[in-house]
Copies of this chain bind each other. A is one copy, B any other.
Amino acid sequence: MHRLILDGPPGLEKEGTSMSTDRTAGTVVTAADYETCPVTRVLRRVGDKWTPAVIRLLAAGVHGFNELDRSIEGISRRMLTRTLRTLEDEGFVSRRTPAAKAMRVEYALTELGESLREQLFALGRWAEAHDTALRAARDKG
């Protein structure tokens, strides 16, 4: 069973489904927690350089490979291929070849990818709402 690092309100951990507990030192985050926590896995994925741009574009509709390549400034075809493959492996993006156009490959968000997009856009609205505070902190630092 995996354990979550970021799994809900603190102090509400349930035995066996949540963080390790060390009787003397309180909550401990182990290397295993990090490897298996599905939340940090998603964060690592969307924290990379190109994934947000791909999700952004696919949120607006189906794109061919070349359309994505043209629409993301600075991405190489190799990095785009790799980013799309990882998103496919994680179940967020699907690839299909329209029957009438054997040379064309189209990419779209899956239902799971669409659900992730909603989460990321919610985080976007949060960042926008807190933009003044975020900038003030950085300007001070």
Residues of A whose CB lies within 8 Å of any CB of B are 2, 4-11, 19, 22, 25-31, 33-34, 37-49, 52-53, 55-57, 59-60, 67, 70-74, 88-92, 110, 112, 115-116, 119-128, 130-131, 133-134, 136-138, 140-141
Report how far A129 CA is from B9 CA in the complex, Å.
Answer: 15
Report how far A138 CA is from B140 CA in the complex, Å.
Answer: 42
Interface class of chain A by DSSP: helix
Which of B2, B5, B71, B122 contacts A56, CB < 8 Å? Answer: B5
A-B contact pairs, 16 of them (CB 8 A): A2-B131, A5-B52, A5-B124, A7-B128, A10-B59, A27-B56, A31-B73, A31-B74, A34-B52, A39-B52, A39-B120, A41-B127, A90-B137, A90-B138, A91-B134, A116-B126
